[in-house]
Amino acid sequence: MALLLLALAAGLAAGYARGGRLRRLGERPPVRSRLILTALGAYAVGVAGSWVWEPLLPVMTALCWFTLGFYAWLNRAYHGARLIALGLVANGLVILLNGGMPVSVTAEQRAGVETTVAQRPDEGVVTVAGDDTRLRWLGKTVPVAFPPRPEAVSPGDLAVAAGVAAALATAMTGRRTALARERAEATRRPAPRIGERAA
Residue 10 lies in a domain: yes
Residue 126 lies in a domain: yes
Greater pLDDT, 13 or 22: 13
Distance of alpha carbon 165 from alpha carbon 11, whole angstroms: 4
Distance of alpha carbon 134 from alpha carbon 123, whole angstroms: 19
Residue 70 lies in a domain: no
Summarize pLDDT for 153-165 with one digit per residue, the tens. 999 999 999 999 9
pLDDT bracket for residue 173 (50, 70, 90)? confident
Neighbour count for residue 58 (Cβ, 10 Å): 23
**What pLDDT is attached to residue 75?**
94
Residue 148 lies in a domain: yes
Query: Which sign does the torsion angle of CA 72, 76, 81, 85 carry?
Result: positive
pTM, to two decimals:
0.85
Residue-averaged pLDDT of the chain: 87
Residue 59 lies in a domain: no
Pairing of strands 126-128, 101-103: parallel
Residue 24 lies in a domain: no
Question: Helix 34-49 vs helix 56-74: angle between axes, to the nearest 10 degrees?
Answer: 170
In total, how many domains does the chain have? 1
Residue 71 lies in a domain: no
C-alpha distances (whole Å) from 120 to each of 51, 67, 75, 104, 140 are 19, 28, 37, 13, 15
pLDDT over 90, % of the chain = 61
* Structural domain that includes position 154: 1-19+79-173
